[in-house]
Amino acid sequence: MYNKVFLIGRVAKDPELRLTPSGVPVTRFVVAVDRFKKKSNNEDKITDFFRVVAWRRLAEICNQYLKKGKLIEIEGRLQIDSYQKDGESRSITEVIMDNMQMLDKINNDEKSENENQ
C-alpha cells in the first residue's frame, strides 16, 4: 500500500503557526491547485483547494517563508479524519506535509528581508 501526494500550487492563505499543548509546532494553510476541464474545444480552469498540515521544524519554515500567493511544491500523504458535529458524522481530508519546495524566484525585497532576520 502506498499513500503519497505531490501538489504544485499557490498558497491561498497565510500559514498559521500554533503549538500543541506539549509545545510541538504545527502550521496549517491551504494550497490552490488549478486543473483544466476540457469542454468541447474550450478549456475551463477549475481550482481545487487542499488543506495542508506541517509539523515541527517544517511548520516553522512554512510559517516564516510562505505567504499568500507563493508558488510551492508539496510532498506528503493524505489523511482523512472523521468526527461528530451536532449528531452528524463529518470528515476532513488533509495533506500531511513531508517535504516542501518554494518555486517562486526570490526578489530583492525578500532577499534583504531574509538577511535582516
Q: What is the pLDDT of residue 84?
A: 86
Could you read off the pLDDT tens digit of each residue along the chain, which spans 117 residues?
Answer: 899 999 999 999 999 999 999 999 999 999 999 987 776 666 678 899 999 999 999 999 999 999 999 999 999 999 998 888 888 898 899 999 999 999 987 664 555 555 555
Domain residue ranges in the chain = 5-110
CATH of 5-110 given 1.10.1420.10, 3.30.1490.390, 2.40.50.140, 3.30.420.10? 2.40.50.140
What is d(CA 95, CA 102) in angstroms, rounded to the nearest whole number?
17
Q: What is the pLDDT of residue 93?
A: 92
User: Which residue in 93, 51, 101 sits closest to 75, CA to CA?
Assistant: 101
**pTM (predicted TM-score):** 0.77
